[in-house]
Amino acid sequence: MADSLLEVIFDVVDIAFDVSDVIDRTKQLSKPDTVEVPPDPKPLPAAAQRSLAEERERKRSQSDQAASSTDQAS
């Protein structure tokens, strides 16, 4: 009799833990995923934008010259 009573108590406790585990998992699934978004970049000052544009133009002209010299060599 005592053995069966202990088994019933352990079964009830086991079921209670299972129900608690299911509730915890359900709560975790209902939480929305949060995504960290970096702040918008600050615009560059006019001098820096000019410098970048000049650098791009210089590289573009160098690549154009290299391409034309390879065409002439062919």
Task: Report yes or no on 35 lying in a domain.
Answer: no
Task: Report yes or no on 36 lying in a domain.
Answer: no
Compute CA distances 40 → 14, 32, 33, 43, 47, whole Å. Answer: 51, 23, 21, 9, 20
Task: Report yes or no on 37 lying in a domain.
Answer: no
Give the pLDDT of residue 65: 83
> What band does 13 get if pLDDT is binned at 50, 70 and 90?
very high
Instruction: Please report, as a single letter, which amino acid is at residue 7.
Output: E
Give the pLDDT of residue 19: 96
Tokens of 64: 């154009």
Task: Report yes or no on 39 lying in a domain.
Answer: no
Q: Which residues contact 52 (CB under 8 A, 6 or more apart)?
A: 44
Predicted TM-score (pTM) above 0.95:
no
Q: For residue 57, how many C-alpha atoms fall within 13 Å in the half-sphere facing its CB?
A: 6
What number is the average pLDDT over the span 2-27? 92
Task: Report yes or no on 40 lying in a domain.
Answer: no
Q: Total structural domains in the chain? A: 2
Instruction: Answer whether 52's CB lies under 8 Å from 44's CB.
Output: yes
Task: Report yes or no on 26 lying in a domain.
Answer: yes
Task: Report yes or no on 57 lying in a domain.
Answer: yes
Look up the domain containing 1 and give its range. Answer: 1-30
